[in-house]
Chains A and B, each alone.
Chain A
Amino acid sequence: MRGVVVGGWNYVIAAYSVTTAMLIVYAVSLFVRLTADRGPRTEDKG
Chain B
Amino acid sequence: MNAENNRFPRTPYILLGLGAALFLFGSWWGLFLAPREQYMGDVQRIMYVHVPTAWNWMLAVIFAFVSAVMFLFTSNYKWDSRLEAGLEVSSLLAFLLCCQGSIWAKPTWGVWWDWDPRLTSVAVLLFAFVGIIALRNFVDDAARRAIWSSVATIIAAVDLPIVYFSVKWWNSLHQQPSSPKTVSSDFYIPLRVNAFAILFLMTGFIMLRARLASRRLANEVSTVPLMEAGETA
Show the binding face of A for B, using Cβ within 8 Å.
Answer: 3-9, 11-12, 14-16, 18-20, 22-23, 26-27, 30, 33-34, 37-39, 41-44
* A26-B92, A37-B212, A37-B216 known; A11-B107 Cβ under 8 A: yes
24 contacts between A and B (CB under 8 A): A4-B38, A5-B41, A8-B41, A11-B103, A11-B104, A14-B103, A15-B50, A15-B104, A16-B27, A16-B31, A16-B46, A19-B49, A19-B96, A19-B99, A19-B100, A22-B95, A23-B201, A41-B3, A41-B4, A42-B3, A42-B218, A43-B3, A44-B1, A44-B2
Binding site for A on B (CB under 8 A): 1-4, 16, 23, 27, 31, 38-43, 45-46, 49-50, 53, 92, 95-96, 99-100, 103-104, 106-108, 201, 205, 208-209, 211-212, 215-216, 218-219, 226
B74 to chain A, nearest CB (A): 22
Q: Is the CB of B39 within 8 A of A30?
A: no
How many cross-chain pairs have Cβ atoms below 8 Å apart between A and B?
89
Q: Which residues of B contact A41 (CB under 8 A)?
A: 2-4
Residue of A nearest to B46 (CB): A15
